[in-house]
Amino acid sequence: MAKYKLRIIPLGGLGEIGKNMMVIESPSEMIVIDAGQMFPEDEMYGIDLVLPDFDYVRRHKDKLKGIIITHGHEDHTGALPYLLREFNVPVYGTRLTLGLITAKLAEFGIKRPRLKEVSPEQQLRIGSLKVNFIRVCHSIPDGVGLAIETPLGYVVHTGDFKFDQTPVDGKPTEFDRFSAYSGKALVLLSDSTNAEMPGYNKTEKSVGESLRELIGKARGRVIIASFASHIHRIQQAMDAAAVDKRKIAVVGRSMINNVGIASELGYLKIPPGALVDIAETKNMPPSKVMLVSTGSQGEPMSALARMAGKSHKYVDIVPGDTVIISANPVPGNEKSVSRIIDLLFKAGADVYYKSVSDVHVSGHAAQEELKMMLNLVKPKYFIPIHGEYRHLKYHALLAEKVGIPRSNILVAENGHVLEFSAKGVKRDERVEAGMTFVDGLGVGDIGDLVIRDRQLLAQDGICVVVVTINTHTKQIIGGPDIISRGFVLEKESAELYDEAKAKVMKAISRELSLQVMDWAILRNETRSTLSRFFYERTKRRPIIIPILVEI
C-alpha cells in the first residue's frame, strides 16, 4: 500500500469535445476507458477523422488488459477500430453499446473481436482491478459510469450523464449506486460538457411533447433529423407519427443501421406496420409520411443535405414540408447547420430547430446536477473531464462551491499524468497526447506540417517556377516559367508575372556567376526571391515550389 501508485492519464477529451480516451494504470496493469473520435475542424483541410494519439498505450501494450466503453456515441467509440488493429484485448460494454460497436468493426473488416457484454450493477475483475458498472441516463440507452476499486480508494468515472427523473425508458441515473461510494472515492472524474448551463437540464420527455405538437399540426410531409444514436428521440418521433397514422421511412446509412440494431436488440419499438421503404413514400399522401433522417450536423453528404440541395434520389424538399432538426450543433458544425437551415427555408419548408422551438434537450448534466453528483460521491480529489477547457474550469468552480478544497481539484489537459499514492498526488509529468489524423486510407501519415501546408494553400495558393539551366555553360536556356493556382489570375496579372520572372532571372544569374554552383542554394534563392517579391506587391505568401532542370 505504501508503495502503490495509481496513474490517471487523459489521452483525449480534455480541452475539446470528442476523442475521449482515458488511461487508468496501476503498477502491473492498465485499462483504457473509451476510445473516441472527433469531428475535424474547418482548418483541417481534407481530414476525415481525428483520433487520439495511441503512442502511450502502444509503448505499454504489455500492461493493457482491456478497454471499457461507457456508451455507444462515436466520440467514445470511433477510434476503436483503429485501436483494435494494434491491440487484441477484450472490449467491455453494455448490450446496445456492443451492438453498435459490432456493426462498426464489421465495416472495418475486423473479425472476431473480443467483445464482452456487461450490465449495470455488475462487478468485473480486469487484472487486479475490480470494476463496478453504474447505470446512467444519457442521450443514448445503456450508458454506464464506473467505480474502479484500487488500494487507494475508488476511481469513480461518471461517463456522460444527466439526472433525468422521468427518462423515456424508465431507467434513471442510479443515485444510490453513486452515493454508495461517498467517502470511499479517491477521485471523481465527471462530465463537464454543460458546466456553463445553470440549473437543471430538461427531461427528454419534454422533447416528445414538442414533437407531438409539431408533427400533429404539420400540413404535409415531416422530416426529422437527429443523431442516429439518439434512440429515445427516434422512439418519441415514431410514437408521435403513429398517432397521426403516418408511415415512417428511415433515411441515411447510419440511421438505417442504428434503427435496425436498436430494434433488433429491443431498445426501439417501431409501431406495427408503420415502417416503409423510402421509395414507397413517393406515391403516398404527404400528410401521411414522416422521414427519420441523418444530417442534423449539416454534413455535406448526409441525407438531409442532399434533400435540401435537391440531389437526393427520392426526396426533394418542397413547400408544405415540415423539417425538424432535433439536435444541437456540435462545436465546429454551426456554419454547416446554418447553411442547411437556409437551404431548407429557400426550398419552402417550415423549419424548426433548437433556437426557435423546444425540439432538443442535452444529454449532459447542468450545473445543479453536477453539484449533486459531487455531493453524492464526496471524493477526496476531483478531475473535471469531457469538455473544452472553459467547461473544465467552470466545473472546478462548482466543485469548490460544494466544499472540495481547491488543492484537491485537478484541472488537467490531455497528456497530463496524475499519479496518486499514499502521500498524495503528483502532476508534473506529461506524455505525448496529440492528434492522429485520418485522411482517406491513411492513418497518422498526415502531420502538423501537412496541415499547415494545406492551410497555406487555402489562404494564398501556390506558385511553381520552372527554370532550365545548362550546367556546362551556366546559362539559363529555358524559362523562368511561373504557374500558379489559387494566387492571382495569370491573364489579369501579366505585368506582375513578367516582373517576377525578371527578378528570378536576375537572382539565378547572380548565383550562376559564382565559381561554385550549388543547386540547393539556387533553389533557396529562387524561392526566397519570389516570396519577397510577391509579399511586397500583394501582401500574400503563396507556397513557392522552384523546379530547376539541369541539362
* Residue 514, pLDDT score: 72
- Condensed to tens digits (0 to 9), the pLDDT of residues 429-458 reads 999 888 777 765 556 556 666 666 666 666
- Condensed to tens digits (0 to 9), the pLDDT of residues 490-512 reads 666 778 888 888 888 888 888 77
N- to C-terminal Cα separation, the chain: 75
Query: Any bridge partners for residue 426, and if so which?
Result: 419
User: Could you count the other beta carbons within 10 Å of the beta carbon of residue 394?
Assistant: 20
- Class of the CATH-defined domain 204-352: alpha beta
Rounded Cα gap, residues 241 and 245, in angstroms: 6
Are 6-199+362-443 and 204-352 equal in CATH topology? no
The owner of cell 481534407 is 46
**Residue whose C-alpha is closest to residue 321's, from 293, 355, 279:** 293
- Condensed to tens digits (0 to 9), the pLDDT of residues 14-35 reads 999 899 999 999 999 999 999 9
Domain boundaries, the chain: 6-199+362-443, 204-352, 461-550
Rounded Cα gap, residues 295 and 104, in angstroms: 19
Lowest mean pLDDT among 58-62, 109-113, 246-250, 422-426: 109-113
**Residue whose C-alpha is closest to residue 310's, from 333, 284, 344:** 344
Q: What is the CATH number of domain 6-199+362-443?
A: 3.60.15.10
The pTM (predicted TM-score) of the whole model is 0.84
Comparison of pLDDT for 138 and 494, the residue scoring more: 138
Q: Average pLDDT, stretch 99-116? A: 91
The domain 461-550 is placed in CATH, from the list 3.30.70.100, 3.40.50.2300, 3.30.70.3340, 3.10.20.580, at: 3.10.20.580
- Condensed to tens digits (0 to 9), the pLDDT of residues 396-410 reads 999 999 999 999 999
* Residue 44, pLDDT score: 60
Q: Which long-range contacts (CB under 8 A, 24 or more apart) does 85-88 make?
A: 85/110, 86/54, 86/58, 86/61, 87/57, 87/61, 88/114
Q: Average pLDDT, stretch 49-64? A: 91
Percentage, residues of the chain above pLDDT 70: 93
Query: Any bridge partners for residue 117, and if so which?
Result: 93
Catalytically annotated residues: 191, 364
Q: Average pLDDT, stretch 289-307? A: 91
